[in-house]
């Protein structure tokens, strides 16, 4: 199991967790905290973080994955029940586009015609069914790695 990363004391989210940097707290448990994003896509955009400093999802110990995503599920629910949103967008970046190197899940309230278009992702196509089958086979093979937890 990967060990937690050393934040070196300069992690913005660790400062929020310690209470040395202000944030608008949404939820706190023994192992996680959620607070409003300082630069939200939409009002209510919440960041959910583990209290221990882990940089990416692969760094998060398996026993914390379920609880963290249980909290994300609850936050997605309250985007609708608490804010009246039609739905939500739940996302997480690993390294690329991760502006703070501390694992965080974005839970964003969504409404039809809110202007967010595919989260600005370019779309592509496989050249053929064979190429798609090849990518699927590579991923299946990688999932068989005995060092990884069973799916």
Active site residues: 104
Q: Is the four-CA dihedral 13, 19, 20, 25 of positive or negative sign?
A: positive
Asked if 144 and 85 touch (Cβ cutoff 8 Å), the reply is no
143: tokens are 């999932």
Locate tokens 């583990």: which residue? 50
Which positions ≥6 away from 113 have C-beta within 8 Å? none
C-alpha of 129 from chain center: 31
**How many other CB atoms are there within 10 angstroms of residue 42's CB atom?**
18
């Amino acid at each position: 199991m990967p060990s937690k990363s050393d934040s070196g004391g300069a992690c913005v989210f660790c400062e929020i967790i310690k209470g040395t940097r202000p944030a608008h707290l949404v939820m706190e448990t023994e192992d996680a905290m959620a607070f409003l994003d300082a630069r939200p896509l939409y009002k209510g955009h919440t960041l959910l973080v583990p209290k221990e400093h882990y940089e990416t999802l692969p760094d998060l110990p398996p026993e914390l994955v379920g609880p963290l995503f249980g909290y994300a599920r609850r936050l997605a629910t309250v985007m609708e029940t608490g804010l009246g949103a039609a739905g939500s967008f739940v996302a997480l970046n690993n390294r690329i586009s991760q502006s703070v190197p501390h694992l965080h899940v974005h839970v964003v309230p969504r409404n039809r015609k809110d202007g967010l278009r595919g989260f600005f992702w370019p779309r592509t196509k496989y050249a053929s069914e064979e190429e798609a089958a090849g990518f699927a086979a590579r991923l299946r093979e990688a999932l068989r790695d005995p060092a990884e937890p069973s799916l």
